[in-house]
Structure 1
Amino acid sequence: MAAVTSVSFSPIGQSSWDRKALTSRSWTPSLASNFEAFRFRTGFSCHYVGVRAPNSTSRLVIHCMSTATDVPTVSETKSKFLKAYKRPIPSIYSTVLQELVVQQHLMRYKRTYRYDPVFALGFVTVYDQLMEGYPSDKDRDAIFQAYIRALEEEPEQYRVDAKKLEEWARAQTANSLADFPSKEGEVEGILKDIAERASNGNFSYSRFFAIGLFRLLELSNATEPTILEKVGSCIHFILIFVAVSICHLLIDLLKLFWTII
């Protein structure tokens, strides 16, 4: 089994492709061996629902899966995003962001959906590197806020959870990361919860979870085959899913690129 190397996500604004080709839709992949660099699109979010017991006036808030009732349409979610951020967005970014909203909407309202900090880390990693070349830092943050709120999520939670996981991962070694089941701590608890749900068949793997997990491994320098196998065993995670997810994202981008040139 070959060692997994680093994956970098390049911003749109730094594409080496001819800008003239990027007229309406844009997201140009940079291909290198072992997935060393590429750009991609997808989405993820969090959900809280309120339920009321029969013959009761009390309201219980549950952090869980998406429900099938009162689910907004894709067009409604896109409309919320565009209304929340009213300033013009350059077409090279606007087209991709709207495509992301569509994909994330479908994940957001999937029956088995549940917010996950690792998944949030994956989304934040993608968004930040996608928008790295955006002209204004202030606008970039405002767009992030509008985007997440359009999906009825809390952007602050995304940021807090992503930062928490990154700081934790940077403080780990490959071995300490793999030994998380035997340790106590907030992040360790998050990973244990994922492991438990996965072992019970109550966890929905996704592309952004794969990216978030890989980011944890990368920050911990835990990319050697033996460590990957140990971590994968601990959380019942089939590591090939990471590679397959990345391949699917890359294929999506290749298709998108060839439609705009």
Structure 2
Amino acid sequence: MDTLRTLSETKRTFYTQHTRPLNSIYRRVIEELLVEMHLLSVNTDFKYDPIYALGVTTVFDTFMQGYQPEKEKESIFNAICQAVENDPQKYRQDAEKLKSIAANHSGEEVTACLSELKPLDGAEELTKVLQEIKNNSRFKYSRLFIIGLYTILETANPDLVTDDKKREEVLQKCCQGLGLPKEKVDKDLDLYRSNLEKMEQARSVLEDAIKADRKQRERRQQQQKSSEVELEKKEENTEA
């Protein structure tokens, strides 16, 4: 019998793969995602699927906006996936494929696919995954899965972001069709949307602070230049 990886081993692998220090503002986001993925990966009922992959990439890309240095984001994402013994490229490819499918179909078509398993052109694999989920009494529901599902719905129908009634109707259909726990779905998506708002506010405050700091530096530089010019004039007058 294989020994399950411990959380400590997963974290150690992550920091072995990504050796640069983490931006302190984003450390909690990174470590929470890593822990969540680890706990799922060692759960016997959990099975990877493209919807889950989309949830992972959505959470990472959304909450890592503004990370500096920007060029290190890919290394961090890769390290997270590798730490749970997964292929980061597969996550990206599966997620992009689902977003492409959603973007090329109407909200009604996508909702019908996710709730009634009505086939979509070019989405045979998605239909197969949904069928397996519906028929699996031990399907391991997760926050990352529902965020992936919500991202598909949102991509096909952006109105869901602002139309509470329509969002509730669509989610109700999907939960009934796939046998998902509606109460958990509502709780997870409410928390996700709330965290998005908080992150946006925090990012706005951070951007304002950076702009204010930049203006202050520019003002000091300008004052320094002015002082240098005045000093040069004084020296010229003295010499004259």
TM-score by length of 2: 0.68
1:176-195 aligned within 5 A: 176-180=109-113, 181-183=117-119, 185-195=121-131
1:215-234 pair list within 5 angstroms: 215-221=151-157, 223=160, 224=166, 225-234=168-177
For residues 74 and 27 of structure 2, what CA distance do their matches in structure 1 show?
15
Aligned with residue 76 of structure 1, among 9, 13, 22: 9
Matches within 5 A, 1:48-197: 69-180=2-113, 181-183=117-119, 185-197=121-133
User: May I ask how many residue pairs the two structures share in their alignment?
Assistant: 186
Q: For residues 227 and 123 of structure 1, what CA distance do their matches in structure 2 show?
A: 22
Distance in structure 2 (CA, Å) of the matches to 1:146 and 1:175: 37
C-alpha distance in structure 2 between counterparts of 1:78 and 1:207, whole Å: 21
The alignment status of 1:246 with 2:204, answered yes or no, reads: no
The one-character-per-residue Cα deviations of 1:123-176 (angstroms, maximum 9, x if unpaired) are: 101100111101233211011111110111000011001111111111111221
Q: Is the 8 A contact 1:169 1:216 kept in 2?
A: yes
Letter aligned with residue 134 of structure 1: Y
Work out the CA distance in 2 between the residues paired with 1:193 and 1:94: 33
Q: Which runs of 5+ in 1 are unaligned?
A: 1-67, 254-261
8 A contact 1:214–1:242 mirrored in 2: no
Deviation at 1:248, TM superposition (A): 5.5
CA contact (8 A) 1:175 1:227 kept: no
**Is the Cα–Cα contact under 8 Å of residues 210 and 241 in structure 1 kept in the other structure?**
no
After TM superposition, the structure 1 = structure 2 runs for residues 3-14 of structure 1, keeping only pairs within 5 Å, are none
From the CA coordinates, give the structure whose radius of gyration is larger.
2
CA change 1:216–1:131 in 2 (3 A) is same
Gaps of 5+ in 2: 161-165, 197-240
Determine helix, strand or coil for the equivalent of 1:182. coil
Partner-residue secondary structure (3-state), 2:134: helix
Q: Does 1:211 align with 2:154?
A: no
Identity, in percent, stands at 33
Deviation at 1:226, TM superposition (A): 4.4
* Partner Cα separation in structure 1 for residue 21 and residue 185 of structure 2: 35
Scaled by the length of structure 1, what TM-score is found? 0.63
Q: CA RMSD in A?
A: 2.6
> What is the CA deviation profile of residues 184-229 of structure 1, one whole-angstrom value per residue up to 9, with x for unaligned ones?
5553432443233333313111111111111111111174254444
Higher strand share: 1
More helix by share: 2
The higher relative CO (CA closer than 8 Å, separation ≥ 6) is in 1
Whichever residue aligns with residue 125 of structure 1, its letter is T
Give the match for residue 230 of structure 2: none
